[in-house]
Structure 1
Amino acid sequence: MRLVSFQGTASGAIEVGVLADDESVVSLHRALPTGLLAAHEGMPDVIARWPRLQPHVQTLLGQAPHVRLSEVHLLAPVPRPPKLLAIGLNYLDHVNEKIVGDQGHEGRALPEHQLWFTKLGHAINGPYDDIVLPKVSERTDYEAELVAVIGQRCKHVPRERAHEVVFGYCVGNDVSVRDWQKRTSQWTLGKSFDTHAPFGPWLTTADELGGDPHALDLRCWVNGELRQQSNTSLMIHDVWAQIALLSQAMTLEPGDVIYTGTCSGVGAAFDPPKFLRAGDVVRVEIDKLGAIEARCVDEA
């Protein structure tokens, strides 16, 4: 199934829905039996209760009234996740590409351990909403990424069982302000500007995808120019290894969002660099998961 978070153009209330087809959605808040999903509950609650809700949702697809996607505003599938985590330097071609600010040497050393950082909640953005270019920098960049969403509370997950705790997958763009990112060894500020964590357009459940996310083509265009093209099979640390490590340090919870790394072709690697400018349109697409697309605008 494909789940979405959306706002109706009339009420403005945030609802969780399931796509009935490519053009319409069923609101779970409106259609589920009374008591299964309260008005204030969102996607993490749906994920946590999915074993109980799924049979009802399956029935709704053939019975409940649909709302046209054109009549709603799609939000990030998990608008306020418990945690938003991202891994850096997780494709070898990205590790090896020359990046502006690396003092002229080719590539970078392969990290000895997985390199993790956080993107803060205010960076989350809808799949088709504008990306705001901050007035304090001219080095805003794009990074096409597969996004994984955790499905159950877990700790110390063995790698061979990590697939059991993933609820589903999205398309993401780890927007990065390169000069702020490189000011310190901690990347949080450079990765957390407002609107710089778009993902979506929907949350495709793991069973819908087929269970294994490690054979998906990933592409990114800027103004129609193909900038990034790779396959998730080329991750250095696959999704299972990422979950195994993270769950050693922290309890993972339903709705936690994980950005799983980007490939080569980022704007900072071109000579001269191709950083984002107002009016640019960035499209990220992953096989079987859909595409997100955003226009870049200057900060007011």
Structure 2
Amino acid sequence: MRFVTFEEGGAARVGVVRGEAVVPVSDLVPDVPASMKALIATGVPAGLEDALGRAPADAGRPLAGLTLRMPIADPGKIVCIGLNYHDHAEETGQAVPTYPPVFMRCTTSLVGPGEPMIVPKCSEQLDYEAELTVVIGRACRHVSPADALEYVFGYTLMNEGSVRDYQRKSTQWTGAKNFDRTGPVGPWITTADAVPPGAAGLRIRTLLNGAVMQEADTSGMIFDVAAIVSTLSEIMTLEPGDLIATGTPAGVGMGRRPPVWLKPGDEVTVEVEGVGALTNPVAAEA
């Protein structure tokens, strides 16, 4: 199933995607949580899939006419893994890590589907990064890799925008990864049962103005989803609605000669097969 947060009447609603339409969850089953984060915490409502199957063909709203928001408006944590594809480590000239490089993003750095990524006033070096993003479904701490996927609710996408000259200003990446409105997330959450275990073996790519810039396979990750969830759970309690961006493959703008930076007027799409496609325009900071 695919769950989406959309705007209606000035308020956010949670819906389930069926074909080219979105059916509000509250139209299908009673007493459902009002937010995506609460729905994840309580679990998919019993009978929802059956109710969706029985709903009339014209139930719901056309997906194309909706304003989609970030699937989770208030993730408790946004954890990111760096250098997690062999080919990306190679293109950056860095050694393949033996332990996942971990950094955090804050909520002000994120935007929803269709919202502009912002090129900051102080830099022209905004780069794209297609990333499969894990959505945690149940609280966990000290879980083994063998059990880690049991705590994954589903997957979404992040274009983990990075301001590269600021990434080189410091030995850690917090500044470069937290410029306002540089990290689109969405367009929805695809539940874990809809893709292979750990979302392995799925094509991942970036298109910039229609041209393919990144194209790889999630099996190319150095640390797979189970390993990432297990490792992070050694450090922190992972909670429902937390997001984990799992790294990007080769083909980023920084690695090209000459480099390719996102410019106002561009349109960038990141895709993961079976999960979805997330498209955003690029604009200058006001």
Amino acid aligned to 1:50: G
Q: Is the Cα contact below 8 Å between 1:132 and 1:299 reproduced in 2? A: yes
Q: Contact 2:29/2:47 (CA < 8 Å) preserved in 1?
A: no
Shift of 1:109: 2.2
Tell me the alpha carbon deviations over residues 168-225 of structure 1, each in whole angstroms, 9 at most, x when there is no partner. 0112211001111221122122111122221221110011224341100111111122
* Structure 1 outlier segments of 4+, above 4 Å: none
Residue number in structure 2 paired with 1:32: 29
Contact 1:5 1:43 in 2 (8 A): yes
Q: Is residue 72 from structure 1 mapped to residue 66 from structure 2 by the alignment?
A: yes
**2:121 touches 2:284 (CA, 8 Å); kept in 1?**
yes
In the other structure, the counterpart of 2:114 is 128
Tell me, yes or no, if structure 1 residue 44 matches structure 2 residue 41.
no
Instruction: After TM superposition, list the pairs within 5 Å mapping 1:152-191 onto structure 2.
Output: 152-191=138-177
Name stretches of at least 5 consecutive residues in structure 2 with no aligned partner.
none
- Asked if the contact 1:170/1:204 (under 8 Å) is kept, the reply is yes
**% identity of equivalent residues:** 42
C-alpha offsets along residues 26-54 of structure 1, whole Å, 9 cap, x if unaligned?
A: 11245431x332xxx41111011115x14
CA shift in 2, pair 1:185/1:54, >3 Å: farther
The SS at the match of 1:46 is helix
Residues 32 and 57, structure 1, Cα contact 8 Å, conserved in 2: no
Aligned partner of 1:95 in structure 2 is 89
Structure 1: tracts of 5 or more residues without a match = 99-106
Tell me if structure 2 keeps the 8 A contact 1:79–1:124.
Answer: no
Secondary structure, aligned partner of 1:172: strand
Q: Which amino acid aligns with 1:4?
A: V
Match of 1:242 in 2: 228
In the alignment, the residues of structure 2 paired with residue 195 and residue 54 of structure 1 have an alpha-carbon distance, to the nearest angstrom, of: 36
In 2, Cα distance between equivalents of 1:217 and 1:27: 30
Residues 191/61 of structure 1: CA separation in 2 closer, same or farther (3 Å cut):
farther
CA contact (8 A) 2:119 2:264 kept: yes
Partner of 2:6: 6
Count of residues paired in the alignment? 284
Match of 1:200 in 2: 186
TM-score with structure 2 setting the length: 0.95
The residue number in structure 2 matching 1:265 is 251
Instruction: Give RMSD over aligned pairs.
Output: 1.5
Could you tell me which amino acid in structure 2 is paired with residue 44 of structure 1? K
Amino acid at match of 1:293: T
Q: For 2:17, give the aligned amino acid.
A: L
Instruction: Give the TM-score, by structure 1 length.
Output: 0.90
Deviations 1:31-83 (A, max 9, x none): 431x332xxx41111011115x1423541453373122233211121121111
Q: Which amino acid aligns with 2:32?
A: L
Q: Match of 1:102?
A: none
Greater displacement, 42-51 / 139-148: 42-51
Give CA deviations for 1:129-159 in whole Å, capped at 9, x if unaligned. Answer: 1111111111100001111100101111100
Is the CA contact (8 Å cut-off) linking 1:126 and 1:200 kept in structure 2? yes
